[in-house]
């Protein structure tokens, strides 16, 4: 049921959020969606780093390949000297932390916080919609496309296009969730989420 709902959120199905409003377990499911998306992002970044390392380290013991005993001894010394194995551009842990920082508190959390704060103000015009619970559920399920960050582990050119495509997909899902939850126009939904997106872009640009 959870994965079916995640797929519906990824397809921007507006009927999902009306269903979630009446479901007592929707909050826990929204938390689960967020955690799954984070794990997928971190796993994708870590696997990409490992594959990159394996393809670029080369074989420092190649001259001894014809002498199996010396070759094995050479590799044991290399492994002892390089544990944990260095990565180009950082360690596996560094890439994992980087992936986590990108998704939380980055591309998803800042727009979600913007939606939660600004969307809550919309209750002044429609008190029947946009409760804190509804907005949290909407923001949580909008993270569903984030599971596709796992594709970051794929070789080029797939990995190169995954990040921007999935980022746009997550933000589009959040806009759709805001529209369905608050009953507002596309323009107003963008206004609720836009400040968080702009802040994320500003932080990303300054970090670069």
Q: Please count the residues of the chain.
A: 208
Q: Which of 91, 88, 64 is nearest to 75 (CA)?
A: 64
CA distance 72 to 163: 39
Q: What is the pLDDT of residue 15?
A: 94
52 CB contacts (<8 Å, ≥6 apart)? 87, 88
**C-beta separation of 176 from 182 below 8 A:** no
Total number of domains constituting the chain: 1
Structure tokens at 83: 């544990």
Task: Write out the residue range of the structural domain in which residue 176 sits.
Answer: 2-7+15-207
**C-beta separation of 171 from 195 below 8 A:** no
CA distance 189 to 11: 17
**DSSP per-residue codes, 40-107:** HHHHHHHHHHHHHHHHHS--TTGGGTTSHHHHHHHHHHHHHHTSSPP-TTS-HHHHHHHHHHHIIIII
Q: What is the pLDDT of residue 79?
A: 43
Q: Is the dihedral of CA 61, 64, 70, 72 positive or negative?
A: positive
Digit-by-digit pLDDT tens for the chain (208 residues) are: 899 999 999 999 999 999 999 999 999 999 999 999 988 888 887 777 676 544 444 444 444 444 444 545 554 454 444 433 333 445 555 656 565 666 665 788 899 999 998 988 777 666 677 788 999 999 999 999 999 988 888 877 777 788 889 989 999 999 999 999 988 899 999 999 999 989 888 877 765 5
Q: What is the pLDDT of residue 65?
A: 43
């Amino acid at each position: 049921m959870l994965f079916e709902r995640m797929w519906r959120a990824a397809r921007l199905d507006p009927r999902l959020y009306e269903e979630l409003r009446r479901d007592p377990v929707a909050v826990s499911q929204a938390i689960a969606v967020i955690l799954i998306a984070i794990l997928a992002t971190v796993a994708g970044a870590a696997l990409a780093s490992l594959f990159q390392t394996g393809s670029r380290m080369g074989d420092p013991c190649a001259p001894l390949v014809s002498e199996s005993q010396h070759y094995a001894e050479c590799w044991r010394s290399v492994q002892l000297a390089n544990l944990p194995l260095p990565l180009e551009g950082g360690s596996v842990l560094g890439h994992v932390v980087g992936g986590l920082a990108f998704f939380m508190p980055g591309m998803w959390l800042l727009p979600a916080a913007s939606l939660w704060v600004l969307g809550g103000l919309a209750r002044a015009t429609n008190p029947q919609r946009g409760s804190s619970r509804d907005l949290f559920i909407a923001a949580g399920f909008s993270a569903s496309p984030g599971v596709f960050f796992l594709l970051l582990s794929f070789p080029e050119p797939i990995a190169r296009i995954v990040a921007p495509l999935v980022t746009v997909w997550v933000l589009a899902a959040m806009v759709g969730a805001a529209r369905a939850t608050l009953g507002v126009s596309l323009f107003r939904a963008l206004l609720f989420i836009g400040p968080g997106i702009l802040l994320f872009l500003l932080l990303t640009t300054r970090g670069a």
